[in-house]
Chain A
């Protein structure tokens, strides 16, 4: 179907973007940010949304930034709001954040990743989306700009519910910083969908860090498609001391709270989560050991 009529604005500066987004009043829907449009345009085509104005941010030079940056102690990968998923997927610099590389093939299809943006995925906050889960698992930092200025929001605080985030309707998400992997860290990622590229029925992202003694120092697990937002748990103790399958089955009962639908019951999603979580945590642990060994060699 065709999108309803909308005005189209393509500002050249971030200030102008913010000014355009602040334009709505009362019942008149305000503007929506258009970056890649791979989530927004289907919403328009199905007439589930009728924004008065689309504010295309692709001409804002600042939002095309894509680079490794130095943080305090460790580096990070900063991805601007206009940077395409495919660009990130294919760039050498992305190897600094292995979990992105693992997740990206599951993000829609090639044809969607060529237009879709990494930051757009975060801003859209679909509960079954991969990149919000990656951001949550790595505790990425999301920079938001609005009429009140700029602020940096930890991913753990950013996702507020299904398609709802800490960014308000007058805000634009500027960039995201993913922490670079350090020696001794290993990652895992998997999802199950009806067709490759569709929304996940359930999926997991895992991060394990081992210490100098080879013991697991920290383990984090993020589930997606299982609740109204990515759900992250510190599972260090479980990975250290428990049978993983049994521990993840118990965890699934706690964290998988989404309702069942025609494609899978809650119970089926719990089972998927438990199996995937145990498998990917084990892989992440193995990779963490390999990473630690390579670092000391």
Chain B
């Protein structure tokens, strides 16, 4: 057991890689790490992130949790000397790592200069963001030659304060930066001690996982009032006559077969259909159960209302208008206009990406329609879900949409 040194920030890259390992989803794995100077061994399943492990296994509740997806910065700790989001790091990844939390920065009797400065400049406010602000500012000033005060708002932008008490916080950091131009002193409260968990819920055991209940299947599509989250307009040309193309669209079974990632589950009557659709995009994979209702059919136009919900609580609704018109060259112009309503977690991934992905899916759908019209059957094999068509078409159910996104970054 040795007290951590003032670890250089690039230490993370130089630590020898931990041993190879393999852990089943509900199996608990032993992880050895150093926390605030003490060597500890945790036993957690792989899904437990470092912040929860610190709080619940070691009782170090100074590390706060806000958003738990990397936006707010409350959970910032030092990992091998560099600030990192403890909610974006699984404890199992920290085998052999050296962690410093706000408890290690200083003690009540021996505060770190940053802690004293936050107090002196009224930078504490409600205190919820304080651990994140302290650890982020420590990372900024440790080993840093100089930081200009005007750069601080950008440099400290990785942690959010809901009190909006930034002025005091930035003044405190500027003060410490000026006092310690060659870098702030090392953490003052890192030494071997006994870390004891303070209770909290017992860690889950294998088999404890409760499957998430799927929401009851609706029988009517209800569109929310208000402006849609996104609107999509796409048109594409097909190399088949309009009669052939419309035959595909007019037959819901054939139409559904052209929807990437979609599956027609049940025909309900009254031109209503129950279906399932999978949207896969990079690491994102959502499966929606939903309903599609063809509310208008006139000539080569149709209007479809669709809604879908996934197990994660994301819901989407769409109001889709499809139209096929002949071209002079004997082909077909397929046009789709859709209004999308997103809610739940998926809405946070909205951005402009929703429209971009929908458009790409529509193009995939259109190609499948073209092939179906030409050959009289669905494309070889089911259309892969790499992009479900969402909205579009009409369809189906579930649909949905797409979108996804993440928050940032690391991009």
Contact = CB atoms under 8 A, between A and B. Distances in A.
A58 interface: yes
Contacts of B17: 12, 58-61, 64
Q: Which of A42, A126, A257 has the most chain B CB atoms closer than 10 A to its own CB?
A: A42
Given A39-B406, A110-B158, A111-B136, A83 B13 contact: yes
B83 A9 contact: no
8 contacts: A38-B70, A40-B283, A42-B406, A47-B312, A49-B283, A111-B158, A111-B159, A114-B82
Contacts of A6: 25, 46-47
Contact of A48 (B73, B85, B230, B286): B286
B286 A115 contact: no
Q: Which of A10, A85, A130 has the most chain B CB atoms closer than 10 A to its own CB?
A: A10
Interface in B333-360: 345-346, 348-357, 359-360
A259 B232 CA distance: 8
Interface in A248-278: 257-264, 269
Nearest to A33: B283
A46 B88 contact: no
B29 interface: yes
Nearest to A109: B158
Interface stretch (A148-156, A159-167, A237-245, A285-293): A159-167
B52 A32 contact: no
A275 to B, nearest CB: 18
A131 B408 CA distance: 13
Interface in B141-181: 153-155, 157-159
Interface stretch (A70-78, A179-187, A194-202, A205-213): A194-202
A242 to B, nearest CB: 28
Contacts of A43: 282-284, 404, 406
Interface string B371-411: 00000000000000010000000000000000011111111
A115 B408 contact: no
Contacts of B230: 259, 261
A117 B45 contact: no
Given A5-B26, A37-B93, A41-B70, A108 B410 contact: yes
A172 interface: no
A66 B93 CA distance: 21
Interface of A: 1-12, 16, 29, 32, 34, 36-52, 54, 56, 58-61, 64, 66, 83-87, 90, 105, 107-117, 120-121, 124-131, 161-164, 195-199, 227-228, 257-264, 269
B87 interface: yes
Contact of A164 (B69, B281, B405): B281
Contact of B47 (A2, A108, A113, A161): A2
Contacts of A60: 17
A111 B85 contact: yes
Given A1-B68, A196-B157, A198-B408, 19 more contacts: A6-B25, A38-B70, A38-B85, A48-B345, A48-B405, A49-B283, A107-B409, A107-B410, A110-B140, A110-B155, A111-B139, A112-B85, A112-B410, A114-B82, A115-B89, A116-B409, A161-B356, A164-B282, A259-B352
Given A9-B22, A38-B409, A45-B69, A197 B158 contact: yes
B144 to A, nearest CB: 11
B285 A50 contact: yes
A30 to B, nearest CB: 11
Contacts of B360: 161-162, 228
A38 B411 contact: yes
Contact of B357 (A48, A126, A162, A197): A162
Nearest to A227: B356
A38 B69 contact: no
A228 B353 CA distance: 7
Contacts of A260: 352, 355
Q: Which of A2, A5, A114, A199 has the most chain B CB atoms closer than 10 A to its own CB?
A: A114
A108 B411 contact: yes
Nearest to B132: A111
Contacts of B312: 46-48
Contacts of B202: none
B356 A129 contact: no
B351 A199 contact: yes
